[in-house]
């Protein structure tokens, strides 16, 4: 996997490891997964934020968000999904982003929580320290499935640009994407999907604003880490990943599935979205029994990498969600 501190890009301090940051790894179902964590230095955290990154992302990308959480007296954990970051990859060509099913990611997340986060979230004076989920795009898909399967683990959850459907499928008849993707992955599951390839600087420019953020500084963070540390690099997705993403999102069309998720949620959508199916995400948000939906008309896909006004507004709403459901209501917390 490479040493986490070997390759440091030329970035402002806010994008680098916060004080007290620690990297760890564990083996689950035969593959090694990396995760990172940090805790407030001189106080017991009010809550524990568990961050679920999007496709091709990695823990280092969330250092700035971790610093925000620490300033709010929140502990912070982030998991590198299998196939990206410094967790094990699927194939000899480590850049191919594949999947054997998002349920495997749900299981990996549960193994992390039960094996590490849960034991670190109990204090001899305060008792149990509650969990709050923060998930982006693909991580939101996995996170919502987790809330369905383990309804008592998180007190609240926030999602940015959730991948409940792909924008590329938006204009297709609803019944078409799933069988079409199934047929394609049946014959060439490990092949790159059309237009996908290994990462190179020109596939996601490191300089300037692109389709993922309007912030000229934060938009560079992803690519600069990739250039500085080749172990982090991830290319495009395979037909297998595309099918599993569509299959996982298809489940959210079942109104009974979504309406049974009672966890208080915050969902943020970008008005300049180019990757996810915004109408489907909006439908899921409105189907969730306890969900606040906020839309940022000028935002692009990566809301947590947007300019200060948009990013700051979302993070303050996220903290308000934690305050309302955890800090101000300790008597209602669910037992682990």
Q: What pLDDT sits at residue 171?
A: 74
Q: Tell me the residue ranges of DSSP E strands in the chain.
A: 22-28, 31-38, 47-52, 74-79, 122-123, 127-128, 131-136, 156-160, 265-270, 291-296
Instruction: Give residue for tokens 């915004």.
Output: 278
Tell me the CA distances in angstroms from 291 to 137, 300, 335, one per residue in order: 17, 21, 22
Contact 280, 249 (CB under 8 A): yes
> Which structure tokens are listed for 307?
């300019």
Note the pTM of the prediction, 2 decimals: 0.95
Q: Which portions of the chain are predicted below pLDDT 70?
A: 1-6, 204-209, 330-336
Q: What pLDDT sits at residue 154?
A: 97
* Domain edges within the chain: 13-332
pLDDT tens string 151-198? 999 999 999 999 999 988 877 777 888 888 889 888 999 999 999 999
Edge-first strand listing for the sheet containing 131-136: 22-28, 31-38, 74-79, 47-52, 131-136, 156-160, 265-270, 291-296
Q: Which CATH number fits domain 13-332: 3.40.50.720, 3.10.520.10, 3.20.20.150, 3.40.50.1820?
A: 3.40.50.1820
Q: What pLDDT sits at residue 205?
A: 60
Nearest to 295 by CA among 278, 280, 309, 277: 278
Backbone Cα Rg of the chain: 19
pLDDT tens string 230-280? 999 999 999 999 999 999 999 998 989 999 999 999 999 999 999 999 999
């Amino acid at each position: 996997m490479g040493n986490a501190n070997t390759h440091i890009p030329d970035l402002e301090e806010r994008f680098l490891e916060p004080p007290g940051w620690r990297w760890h790894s564990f083996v689950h179902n035969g593959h090694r997964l990396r995760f990172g964590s940090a805790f407030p230095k001189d106080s017991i955290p009010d809550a524990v934020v568990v961050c679920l990154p999007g496709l091709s992302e990695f823990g280092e990308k969330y250092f700035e968000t971790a610093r925000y959480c620490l300033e709010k007296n929140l502990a912070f954990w982030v998991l590198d999904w299998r196939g990206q970051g410094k967790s094990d990859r699927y194939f000899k060509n480590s850049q191919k982003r594949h999947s054997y099913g998002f349920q495997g990611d749900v299981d990996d997340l549960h193994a992390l929580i039960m094996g590490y986060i849960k034991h670190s979230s109990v204090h001899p004076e305060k008792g149990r320290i509650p969990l709050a989920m923060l998930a982006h795009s693909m991580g939101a898909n996995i996170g919502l499935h987790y809330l369905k399967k383990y309804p008592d683990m998180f007190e609240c959850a926030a999602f940015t640009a959730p991948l409940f459907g792909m924008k590329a499928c938006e204009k297709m008849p609803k019944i078409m994407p799933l069988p079409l993707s199934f047929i394609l992955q049946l014959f060439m599951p490990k092949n790159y999907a059309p237009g996908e390839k290994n990462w190179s600087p020109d596939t996601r420019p490191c300089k300037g604003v692109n389709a993922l953020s309007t912030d000229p500084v934060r938009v560079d963070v992803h690519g600069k880490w990739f250039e500085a540390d080749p172990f982090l690099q991830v290319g495009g997705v395979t037909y297998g990943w595309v099918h599993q993403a569509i299959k996982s999102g298809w489940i959210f069309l079942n109104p009974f599935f979504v309406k049974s998720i009672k966890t208080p949620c915050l969902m943020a959508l970008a008005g300049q979205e180019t990757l996810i199916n915004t109408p489907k995400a909006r439908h899921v948000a409105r189907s969730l029994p306890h969900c606040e939906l906020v839309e940022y008309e000028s935002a692009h896909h990566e809301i947590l990498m947007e300019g200060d006004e948009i990013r700051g507004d979302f993070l303050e709403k996220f903290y308000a969600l934690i305050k309302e459901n955890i800090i101000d209501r300790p008597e209602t917390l669910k037992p682990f």
